[in-house]
Chain A
Amino acid sequence: MKKILIVDDEPNIVMSLEYTFKKNNFEVFIARDGQEALDILKNSLPNIIILDVMMPNVDGYNTLEQIKKDERLKDTKVIFLSAKNKEKDIEKGLSLGADLYMTKPFSVKKLVEQVNELTK
């Protein structure tokens, strides 16, 4: 069973994502901000992480930087999912090493397709 970590501070968005990926046979982990995500990552190695950018405490960019430092997570894919949709935000996200940058609002169907593609 593939594992997915969803990192977002909006409970209603998380609820939709959790329902969708569980239905697509993922084991789902949830974190409400970057710090929680990093804590979870200490004990589990998901195949893919869906990461919001604007979050309290540790934001998405910082979280990704920490993830990239961790040798164990080198095969873990990362998708940014953010309402920040400016060219420079996207560039920044990708330059930090994200595999994909999707903007909010998003199509659930497309997200599932991308996740499946990345975790093939």
Chain B
Amino acid sequence: MSSVVLLIILSFYLAMLFGIAHWAEKRGNSKWTNNPYVYTLSLAVYCSAWTYYGSIGVAAKSGLNYLPIYIGPIIIIPAWMIILRKIIRISKVNKISSIADFISLRYGNSRFLGALVSLICIFGILPYIALQLKAIAETFHVVTQTTGDSNIFSDTTTYVAIALALFASYYGTRYVDASEKRKGIVTAVAMESILKLFFFLLLGIYVTFFVFDGFDDIYAKASVLENFKEKNTIGGIPQAINWFFLCVLSLFAIFLLPRQFQMSVVENNRENHIKTAVWLFPLYLLLFNIFVYPVAWGGNILFDGQAVNSDTYSLLIPQFFDNKIMTVLVFLGGFSAAISMIVVSSIGLSTMLSNNVLIPYGFLGRLQSEVQETNNKKIVNIRKVGIFSLIILAYFIYRVFVLEYNLFSIGMVSFVIIAQLAPSFFGAILWRRASRNGAVAGIIVGFLICTYTLLIPYAIGLTSLEKTFINHGLLGIDLLKPFELFGLNYLDPVPHALFWSILFNLFTYMAVSVSFKGNYRERNYAEMFIDIDKYITMHENAFIWKGTAYTSDIQKVLNRFLGEERTKRALNIFSLKYNVDKNQELADARLIKFAENLLTGHIGTASAKILISSVVKEEKITLPEVMKILEESQENIIINKKLTETSTELKAITAQLKKANEDLISKDKQKDEFLDTISHELRTPITAIRAATEILHDDDDIPQEMKKQFLTNIISESDRLNRLITKILDLEKFDSGKQKIYVTKNNIYHTISETIKQLQQLIENKNINVDLISEKNIVKAYYDEDRITQVLNNLLSNAIKFCPNQDGNIAIFIKESDTTIEVSVEDNGKGIDENDFEAIFDKFYQSSNQNIRKPVGSGLGLAICKKIIEHHRGKIWAENAKNSGGRITFTIPKYNRETTT
């Protein structure tokens, strides 16, 4: 394929990525750009060209060794739920924008440490970026079947590098605040992650099922090749230890690589996205690895004995069969993998370079303009130039040093260098005592060991100098052989370097931290990092600071970077959050931390501290004082929590009181109404008696039969009065709890039959048919027979009353379960209004819809029934029967305590 055609395809591809980035940037916070899947896919920036091409190379040459790079992350990913969440929280509240910010802030906001971490990262990652460019260039030549041009101006890869540098520096610096989210880049990277996986799987399927006849075919053919067995076994304990260290190495890398920190922490929109990443990201890695082996061995089979670079098998195989489309697609996948790594890494590195090295060590003086735009422009320009130069620098590394090492080993060296940050990084969130000096010493010692055991030998390998250093050690001392330090001779160079460097790093870090106490600021940040969950809402409270500062001075500094309007808004938010007077002249510790945070995203933690310190006068605080203040603030937090709890309790109690009061008022009202009704009910018979008696008394000419009628009335009204009084007293006894129930074992069938007998006269008068329906005629239960008789009497009397004058019918049902008996009394009258099903059990209830049922008797009968049933721990309710007559049902448990009140 000609270079021109491929370049045109590449231009279209790059234009598409620009388009996606541009679109995502415009869409802002839409669900298309801000979701857990985009987040997870953006983490797949981990799979660089190294994964895409290098894995196949390693698998082809040395078998299983490509695997630990994926196993390490998969082992630690479940712990993201705790560790990564914590790191994200710390970074969000402190506006951290890089791993250098993260580590340096924890160790007392140390400018030196920030710069050290930045330089380590740049040193470690630049060759790695160079490696990606190398991959692009080499594969470009493979696809176009050209060779590299020694004149960089006629080499097409130069222009690809420049285009990438422009893209990254444009989209990577859209915001002055480096802790802002870069939607465009993230979405483009997520898209590339989909494409590179898709193309890789496509290739895998092509090789496995079209070039060969499935997995079995490849296996059968590969198994006859040389060294097949050795390459497919781990190879004893020494190899297992190598494996172990490689896993540890990649486990560190997934946290510490600047591009991973950038994507997983700085670009994280929501903590919850981690939940998806925890399962989806390992799945992504798994999919990426399914076809590595078949493709690698497929290549070994096809190119057995030929001198071809196994890293490029994935291109050579389709090319061998002259499948142009597949070749280009594979190339585009690799290109995607490379450029997402280059772009994200260079953004991360340039943020560190500007915020942790250039600005605090020199440019801060130049950012003194009073005009916000000028300052911001300068910051953005520093970063733009930073990103651009880093990529170009990487390109020159690739051009100038002939990188003879394969993708895999260069990547590994990068990992080992970056791994030097591990002790101080993990210590930052786990160990309070860890100090700045410990971190600095650890990193430097680790890096030196790493240089001795890995970098120098590799450099010697590159320049083909004398190999005596490697073979006989420094000054000829065997114990100092760089690949077999202190006689440790069974580890490969990379695990060997990792082991010694991390061992010394960790030891130094701990020894120095334990021997020399950190200053108060380190201790302060230690608390804030380790107990982030405690401080997350009122973060500024945890910051300890003593001295004199004027709000107006701080405001002026903020104006220079945020502009007047944003500064004002920010200060308003602050005063609302902590409920402080906006016009307060003196600033407190919280405002200082708040102001530092506002500046951090723009100029980094160290510079923010320097700038704020320049306008305030800080007094030294001793360590014991810090501890005391921390304890106090802790106490304050506890007290606050208690106060909140107390106030919640008070609220609950107030609500209870209010309810109780309302209940009382309503009870009082009910009582008034009850008394009203009672007096009315009592007066009615008295009125009848009084009137009849007066007539009898005054009227001497009254006919005999009338006289008799009036006397009968007097008798019946007197009886009525008496019944009423009895019922009222009954009810009162139940209400006040004086009424006792005496349960004995009885037969409800018998009780009902007896009650029917008592009412026989009334039933016959109205010519009503009464059925008692029960499976058995002995249904035993414990109850107070007199009281239940009272209930049945009441229910039956009502039923009799409501039966129509002709064809009246009453049905009584007895049902029995293991624990209860149920009795229903049903008539064929007009039925009960649905709205009254509950109300009819109220005292002196009168139906609102009296067309259906007139008030009956005293209006106390059902109320008393309900009380009796409730005292038996049963239930009573009203409903309408199928024939639309009324039905009242009650249940009582079979076994009741001997005596209930």
Contacts and interface: CB of A to CB of B under 8 A. Distances in A.
Given A57-B851, A106-B691, A109-B694, A15 B684 contact: no
Given A57-B851, A109-B694, A109-B698, A13 B687 contact: yes
Interface residues of A, number: 22
A111 B717 CA distance: 21
Interface of A: 10, 12-13, 15-17, 19-20, 23, 54, 56-57, 83-86, 104-109
Contacts of B686: 104-105
B690 A83 contact: no
B142 interface: no
B116 interface: no
A4 B132 CA distance: 115
A60 B698 CA distance: 30
A56 B692 contact: no
A118 B695 CA distance: 22
B695 A83 contact: no
B679 interface: yes
Interface in B699-720: 699, 706, 709-710, 713, 716-717
A54 B678 CA distance: 13
A85 B683 CA distance: 10
Given A13-B688, A20-B691, 12 more contacts: A12-B717, A15-B710, A16-B688, A16-B691, A56-B850, A56-B854, A57-B850, A83-B683, A105-B683, A105-B689, A105-B690, A105-B691
A100 B698 CA distance: 24
Nearest to B690: A105
27 contacts: A10-B687, A12-B688, A12-B713, A13-B684, A13-B688, A15-B692, A15-B710, A16-B688, A16-B692, A19-B695, A19-B706, A20-B691, A54-B680, A56-B846, A56-B850, A56-B854, A57-B851, A83-B679, A85-B679, A85-B683, A104-B683, A105-B683, A105-B689, A105-B691, A106-B691, A108-B695, A108-B698
A109 B698 CA distance: 9
Contacts of A23: 699
Given A15-B709, A16-B692, A83 B687 contact: yes
Given A56-B850, A105-B691, A10 B710 contact: no
Contacts of B716: 12
A107 B686 CA distance: 12
B461 interface: no
Contacts of A57: 850-851
Contacts of B717: 12
Contacts of A56: 846, 850, 854-855
Contacts of A86: 676
B687 A104 contact: yes
Contacts of B690: 105-106
Interface residues of B, number: 27
Interface of B: 676, 679-680, 683-684, 686-692, 694-695, 698-699, 706, 709-710, 713, 716-717, 846, 850-851, 854-855
Contacts of B680: 54, 83-84
A48 B475 CA distance: 138
A16 B854 CA distance: 23
B576 to A, nearest CB: 54
Given A83-B679, A83-B680, A84-B680, A12 B851 contact: no
A108 B694 contact: yes
Contacts of A107: 694
A6 to B, nearest CB: 12
A83 B716 CA distance: 19
A13 B302 CA distance: 120
A19 B67 CA distance: 114
Nearest to B854: A56
A23 B699 CA distance: 10
B670 to A, nearest CB: 17
A43 to B, nearest CB: 23
Contacts of B710: 15-16
Contact of A10 (B684, B698, B709, B854): B684
Query: Which 7 pairs between the two chains have the least Cβ-Cβ distance?
Result: A16-B691, A105-B690, A12-B688, A83-B683, A104-B687, A105-B687, A12-B713
A90 B636 CA distance: 65
A12 B695 contact: no
Nearest to A53: B680
A57 B846 CA distance: 10
B691 A13 contact: yes
> In the complex, which of the residues B706, B846, B850 has the most CB atoms of chain A within 10 Å of its own CB atom?
B850
A105 B695 CA distance: 14
B197 to A, nearest CB: 82
Contacts of B846: 56
A63 to B, nearest CB: 14
A34 B377 CA distance: 91
